[in-house]
Structure 1
């Protein structure tokens, strides 16, 4: 597989293309650094509102005509506003590249942002925010991340009730003009298109796109502590967050393999020790997460009030036991699991476009699958055990959501 080639256009837009001559289709991922971390104070949720409002018409078309224009070209598309950025993704036949980019140019440069659609967009966002009450694990982790980060990285990507209610069409139009632009944005393409053709098409459609690149604050974290969240329920949600190494660190894949040992399948430590042997939980897992400039390992367990104390103790003990080392068999199983996941992801042009854009955002360069596989293969038992002994997972931020008054004070 050819490695993606990149070029920065005169307006600051970064274009990356991974050519797949055998592929009749193209997958696109446009990453705009417009997320909750840069929402204006008092307008938390602005990025979320803007992403929904964009599709209510553009280039002289109303919302229905815009949707039909995409459908006429056979475009499968999606978009989302997140903590750090907004993404616009699409898949289409390679022959439609120029026409598809022209439609996206209308959305980005000539959006209608109609006043009569604004309240509908706000109500959808408010419902999304309210849905947290029906998703206890998500509610718990949302509160835990807010407790971990003193910087805006602890914000809920959906926004806040106060921010969504305070938003006005005028304020959001001004925010769109300030944050939506070419500088700092990344357009990744994977499929049957060359860099030369893509660059010509992008310059013809998005070459006059200007603005963007708002300053992003650096992540700032608090001291680890415990958060108790009262919620009348028959279940208790437990969450842990441990500092970890970020992408680009020499031991990044060492840490990823350690996470696989913990939670890489039904034979992994957390599932076996916490659920299968002791029957403490109905769900348990650990996964690597993070933001640009700060990464962490999160762990989750869902249990009952009666089992909460033991669950938390065993969950922490299993994670901290990594410092005592992993076996060669565990490491090999983790390698197979991680490589399988990566290979399956990279087989899809859609997933590849997403990976390219994310690599450029986080690292400023694109990694090949061969580079990643080599980094995983280089981790042997001696290396991972040396790393885990020197970098134990200890002293996490902790969140407990449930009937706190029924849970012993030691939690």
Structure 2
């Protein structure tokens, strides 16, 4: 991507564009019935990938750009830079002011937003299918032409500090950041996506601009569109937008970066972190290392998590809420990264109930690690996970999210039928094996709340 301080890009010559077009590579990744659900991919000169899923029966389309950069790509002093940059790309380009960007989508009833995660960032807009060209032009302009105005950097700093404060005021959310730190320590994956007050205050316009130039090259980007879209038209419009910024012609022979790899072993065990806060509830996460998003066992761990804490019939919900009334909210979850993963159990309860809740959580985890789940529990969890997977893909935004993330994180696409087949293939024996491997680890614990010394003295028992 061209630096924000660049002069206006010179348009590519007609001959240059003709040569570039011959290099574009297009393939059909998934073949739908009568064109419905067909997924196509084009790799443009310069390494930009464009992936679309066609659903001609709807009147909407969601367009997104995924960047191969997240908070794990930051040094300690840059913690929060990815999220800071996400904010700044909405604040104006050489062609549009911040008001122009927001007004363009508001004028057609569209929705535009973005999010930053540990390993990627996504910018997207959902519009009527007839307004897709506008969404493509605006989002591509944001990604390729941000000026990162110094005055906007200073103004947005206050907004981000307020966002950090808002997160810290929500202990049910904040406890998951604490758990990541408990398990992963002061590592890129263990640090908060938002950064801290100190790191955000220390970030300068020049450092953010350098981060932008380094990580928003077309080789690091995946364009995804889903809904009532035509692949060739989307490719043509995306290409025109990136050519206008000179983003493709400068690196015509470049190839896309591949999915993240590597092997990371989480050795943390038996750690307890208590953050004393004057809250009405105590918020708890008890957990251990899980599996990476590249591990085939992720399907089995998903079934295990669903049975343990994925619904109203799950073990934790039944034992903690239904039978004893100790908590309103309790669930289990998995987080998979490129080279590691986490498995956690959450509960929010009165501080006086913390010892009892932790005792039940540990008893259930130990029992499942030792004995596994019953066949009925596995069948129920498979059905729940299958249903939630399909229901979660019922809108164009979810479809865009699936194909964009799949291309960026795995470099391939999996059909819904293939996903359901993976889930349905999970057997009780598979679940027992994964339960022994994952749940037998000594857990760690994160707690936010106003615990007394006596209540806090029970925390070590949960990880013993």
2:247 to 201, 205, 209: 209
Distance in structure 2 (CA, Å) of the matches to 1:389 and 1:109: 48
How many Å separate the matches in 2 of 1:300 and 1:392?
15
Between the aligned partners of 2:94 and 2:109, the Cα distance in structure 1 is: 19
Over the aligned positions, Cα root-mean-square deviation in angstroms equals: 2.4
CA displacement 1:31-87 (0-9 Å, x = unmatched): 112321123431321112211111122233221122222334543211122222221
Secondary structure of residue in 2 paired with 1:339: helix
1:359 aligns with 2:406: yes
Residue 284 of structure 1: how far off its partner (Å) = 1.3
**Mapped pair 1:403 → 2:438:** no
The runs of 5 or more residues in structure 2 that have no matched partner are 1-31, 460-464
SS of 1:87's partner is strand
Structure 1 stretch 282-291 or stretch 378-387: which is displaced more?
378-387
Instruction: Give the 5 Å matches for 1:279-298.
Output: 279-298=325-344
Residues 222, 410 of structure 1: alpha-carbon distance in 2 compared, 3 angstrom cutoff: same
- Report what 1:278 is aligned to: 324
Of 194-203 and 250-259, deviating more is 194-203
Tell me, yes or no, if the aligned pair for 2:63 and 2:136 is still in contact at 8 Å. Answer: no
CA, structure 1 residues 220+122, in 2 after alignment: closer, same or farther (shift >3 Å)?
farther
Task: State the aligned residue count.
Answer: 411
Out of 322, 337, 343, the residue aligned to residue 390 of structure 2 is 343
Which residue of 231, 254, 263 corresponds with 2:309? Answer: 263
- Partner residue of 1:84? 119
Q: Which residue of 2 aligns with 1:228?
A: 274
> CA contact under 8 A between 1:144 and 1:239: conserved in structure 2?
yes
* Conserved 8 A contact 1:335-1:376: yes
Bigger drift between 342-351 and 236-245 goes to: 236-245
Q: Please state whether the residue corresponding to 2:426 is helix, strand or coil.
A: coil
Displacement, 1:124? 0.8
- TM-score normalised to structure 1 length: 0.92
Indicate whether 1:111 and 2:146 are aligned.
yes
Displacement of 1:220 in angstroms is 5.8
- Among residues 25, 30, 43, which one is paired with 2:78 in the alignment? 43
Equivalent residues in 2 for 1:52-67, closer than 5 Å = 52-67=87-102
Superposed CA offset, 1:210-244 (max 9, x none):
58969979656342122232234443222122222
Matched position secondary structure for 1:153: coil
CA contact (8 A) 2:261 2:339 kept: no
Pair 1:372-2:423 in alignment: no
Deviates more, 1:206-215 or 1:335-344: 206-215
Alpha-carbon distance in 1 for matches of 2:335, 2:376: 25
